[in-house]
Amino acid sequence: MALAPAATAQQAIDGTYVDSGGFVEITVEPCGAARCGKITRIIRRKPGESELDAHNDDPALRDRPILGLTLLQDLRWDDGAWRGEVYNPEDGGTYRTEVRPAANGALEVKGCLLFICRTRIWTAAS
CA-wise closest residue to 36 among 90, 86, 78 = 86
Per residue in 47-88, pLDDT (tens digit) is 888 899 999 989 999 999 999 999 999 999 998 899 999 999
How far apart, in whole angstroms, are the C-alpha atoms of residue 6 and residue 13?
Answer: 21
Q: Where are the domains of the chain?
A: 15-124
Count other C-beta atoms under 10 Å from residue 56's C-beta: 19
Predicted local distance difference test score (pLDDT) of residue 40 = 97
**Does CATH place domain 15-124 in 3.40.630.30?**
no
Task: Look up the pTM and report it.
Answer: 0.88
Task: Output Rg (C-alpha) for the chain, integer angstroms.
Answer: 16
Handedness of CA 57, 53, 99, 121 (dihedral sign): positive
